[in-house]
Chains A and B, each alone.
Chain A
Amino acid sequence: MEVKTVTIEDITVIDLAGEVDAVTAPKIQQQVLQFAQPGSKILMDMTKVPYMSSAGLRMLLSVYRQAVARNGKLVLVGLSEDIKDTMSVTGFLDFFTTSLSLESGLKVLK
């Protein structure tokens, strides 16, 4: 699992590549929470994530809520159809702000 960060204006774009599961989740959590400050804007690009396990879904939601609790904004983009479907079926999808692409995600955060 590779985590790359890039800043576009005042938005932190976090690019994940690889599976998100109990093994990789802690690393992702640590990285993302670094950037979760009051007023922060985070875009998580999931395009290169082929699979998220139960633990992965939970970590993601936990991170999302912590960011929001610190008055940050977080958007997920690039979720594959399969992952989006899994998240919908298990009831996780509704908790997130998602957007289809990097461009639209940036717009949502601006």
Chain B
Amino acid sequence: MGRIDIHPTHTYGEFKLRRGKPYPFGAGATLIPGGVNFSIFSSRAKSCTLVLFQKHAKEPFAEIPFPEEFCIGNVFCMVVFELDYENIEYGYRMDGPFNPTEGYWFDNSKILLDPYAKIIGGRDVWGITPDWNNIYQHRARLAFDDFDWEDDRPLEIPPEDHIIYEMHVRGFTRHPSSGVKHLGTFAAIREKIPYLKELGVNCIELMPVYEFDEFENSRIDPTTGKLLLNYWGYSTVGFFALKAGYAATGKFGMQVDEFKALVKTLHKNGIEVILDVVFNHTAEGNEHGPTISFRGIDNKTYYMMTSDGYYFNFSGTGNTLNCNNPIVRNMVLDCLRYWASEYHIDGFRFDLATILGRDPWGAPLANPPLLELLAFDPILAKCKLIAEAWDAGGLYQVGCFPAFDRWVEWNGKYRDCIRKFLKSDIGMVGEMAQRLQGSPDLYGGSGRGPATSINYVTAHDGFTLADLFSYNHKHNEANGENNSDGTEDNYSWNCGAEGWTEDQNVLALRQRLMKNAIAILMVSQGVPMILMGDEMGRTQHGNNNTYCHDSELNWLDWNLLESNAHLFQFVKHCIAFRNVHPVLRNHSHFRNVDYVGSGYADITWHGTQAWNADWSFHSRTLAFMLCGKHAKEGTVEDNNIYVAMNMHWETHWFEIPRLPEGMKWYVFANTGVTPPEDSWEPGTEPLLENQSGVLVSDRSVVILVGK
């Protein structure tokens, strides 16, 4: 039986129209055969016109005003019949007041991008210089949303079992040494799945994959003559569309299928996908930036504006998205629901997330509605929600981010503490004890578990692991900002020489410290995250803010797998070790008591003396033992694990606690030993010769397993 509401009711020139449906927002096929529904809202526009282009055409082939009688509330909606679904691009002209002091930027001469666009053209292939005379730079297109997922669904890996790999899509495979068919693309990640499985990670966190403009702020570096681009992509053009330039099939407009195929294959191989999402600002910048979409559609709604018409800048990039405005809140919710349900995404990491907790005038909210909305949404209920709990406006909320029992945090305190500990700063053992336990000082009070803490030593912001131990200072001259950009607080140490050196002692120490970092990270409670390439010692030559380099500075050089084979092996073993020992991945914080009757507390602290840690200010040694019978709160049995960390510059004998009768200590890792005997494949660990103690070299970590 046919529907009774599918025939055209109006005409405009040669076009047949009928009243559309306001929901869902955006544009797409409907139950009406041959019709496309267009829906867009604006709280202050007087009128709106749909502008239609043939794909890539310079000028539109039609401009259809929305009849007034088609509007519902503030939503313009209509169905247009007989459009060539695959080959059109659409945009909007909005008419309304132009009064910047009041916050109104309507300009009928501009063609605006639909904020809900599912495919965006205009940067179809990465790096192709745009036609700057193009009257409509970023163009919305219509997507096919059908895809055969077969039985795929988000994996719902328990958060405490995650091992996260932070990856830049293009950087991962753009280097010719990657050996993939389509360099720097989604398709290429799929080709590298066997590598990710070998490494042992079960989750990839992708730096921005929605459409952004790599040519934003593009400029020539005066010293090298190189073109600097927006390479990292923390500048959204469209929240609902993938970056075409990241897809091998982007030039055909097939990025939706390509990415879904990637997610499907990753899931089949036990790997989750987390997307880095940037709701704190957009690519439109401040009053000097381009009008692409939001400014021309509903400026006052979308952006935080001062009372005299300037853009609040809590993001440090020009504008701030008005996230706690109810309309914008709904857009953010729609967006995340879209990625979760249509793309089967497993989680989201929110860039500069404290902005999401500010009211429209910038003041921090006690119960930010947006964060609460996302925490309780049914579609997002099993998605990981990760907050980078600070912003550029000075609001630092690590440990006090409004979590509603759901949000977890990038633990910047873990990063800073472990870096200081690793370079032998004094006064660190007390705080280290907290960080190793999953930071109960920050998260235990509110009843949250260790998985609330995303532990990391490195991320895209800052030094790579190799550079953390090769440089005392940042060297960002290549960014063309006189080395004034990038953080000063690196807590790094060059091990005796700044940058490149032939000194074998320095080089060996650097390798040892990198391994110490990974080893400690992998035996800490909480969720470990490693930066792409750290497993092979990737360097950015001391640049700690490489956001603008589309070059070998950022592209992962796969030859490093060979030259740093020992490091890779070590990292792989540590990840495997974590995967195999549930006692390292508890759901709840340690109680520091014996609650299963094993004779040992769940965690005990030691130093060079067993049962007696040195907590003094000048102490640089610390050890701990985990009782295997307490693994996962006593629900599973595991081996005992003992970790000795000697951050002093002299070798020390560590007396080891005695194991129960019949059990013995075996050596899993010793970063003070020459590779490849610095770590063993779990299950093949050699017996510790002297069961009463172990000599731990200067600046080394020893991990024993008791079975």
Contact = CB atoms under 8 A, between A and B. Distances in A.
A42 to B, nearest CB: 21
B125 to A, nearest CB: 15
Given A21-B86, A22-B87, A54-B86, A89 B144 contact: no
Given A22-B84, A91-B261, A86 B252 contact: yes
A20 to B, nearest CB: 11
A86 B86 contact: no
B85 A89 contact: no
Main secondary structure, interface of B, reads loop
A85 B500 CA distance: 42
Interface string A43-72: 000000000011101100100000000000
A21 B87 CA distance: 10
Contacts of B182: 89
Contact of A89 (B84, B87, B146, B248): B248
Contacts of A91: 147-148, 257-258, 260-261, 264-265
Interface string A28-44: 00000000000000000
Nearest to A89: B187
A54 to B, nearest CB: 5
A23 B85 CA distance: 10
A62 B384 CA distance: 35
B6 interface: no
A96 interface: no
B86 A53 contact: yes
B482 to A, nearest CB: 43
B257 A55 contact: no
Nearest to A56: B86
Contacts of A55: 85-86, 144
A54 B258 contact: no
A95 B85 CA distance: 24
Interface in B241-275: 248-249, 252-254, 257-258, 260-261, 264-265
B207 to A, nearest CB: 21
A14 to B, nearest CB: 23
Nearest to B255: A90
A78 B610 CA distance: 72
Nearest to B181: A85
Contact of B144 (A21, A54, A85, A95): A54
Main secondary structure, interface of A, reads helix
Q: Give the interface residue-count category, chain B.
A: 20 to 34
Contacts of A53: 86, 252
Contacts of B86: 21-22, 53-55
Nearest to A90: B257
Contacts of A57: 257
Nearest to A21: B86
A105 B253 CA distance: 30
A94 to B, nearest CB: 9
A61 B87 CA distance: 21
Contacts of B249: 86, 89-90
Nearest to B144: A54
Contacts of B84: 22-23
A58 B146 contact: yes
A62 to B, nearest CB: 10
A90 B261 contact: yes
Contact of B252 (A23, A54, A61): A54
A54 B29 CA distance: 15
Interface in B666-689: none
A23 B253 CA distance: 16
Q: Which of A21, A54, A57, A89 gathers the greatest number of chain B CB atoms within 10 Å?
A: A89
A22 B85 contact: yes
A86 B260 contact: no
A57 B249 CA distance: 13
Contacts of B261: 89-91
Interface in B67-92: 84-87
Interface string A85-101: 11001111001000000
B553 to A, nearest CB: 28
A95 B253 contact: no
A95 B146 CA distance: 15
Nearest to A95: B148
A57 B144 CA distance: 11
A83 to B, nearest CB: 11
A92 to B, nearest CB: 7
A69 B147 CA distance: 19
A77 B257 CA distance: 23
21 contacts: A22-B84, A22-B86, A23-B84, A53-B86, A54-B253, A54-B254, A55-B85, A57-B257, A58-B146, A61-B148, A86-B249, A86-B254, A89-B182, A89-B190, A89-B248, A89-B258, A90-B254, A90-B257, A91-B260, A91-B261, A91-B265
Interface of B: 84-87, 144, 146-148, 181-182, 187, 190, 248-249, 252-254, 257-258, 260-261, 264-265
Given A89-B254, A89-B261, A90-B261, 17 more contacts: A21-B86, A22-B86, A22-B87, A53-B86, A54-B254, A55-B86, A58-B146, A61-B148, A85-B248, A86-B249, A86-B254, A89-B190, A89-B248, A90-B249, A90-B257, A90-B258, A91-B261
Shortest beta-carbon contacts, A-B, top 4: A91-B261, A90-B257, A89-B187, A22-B86
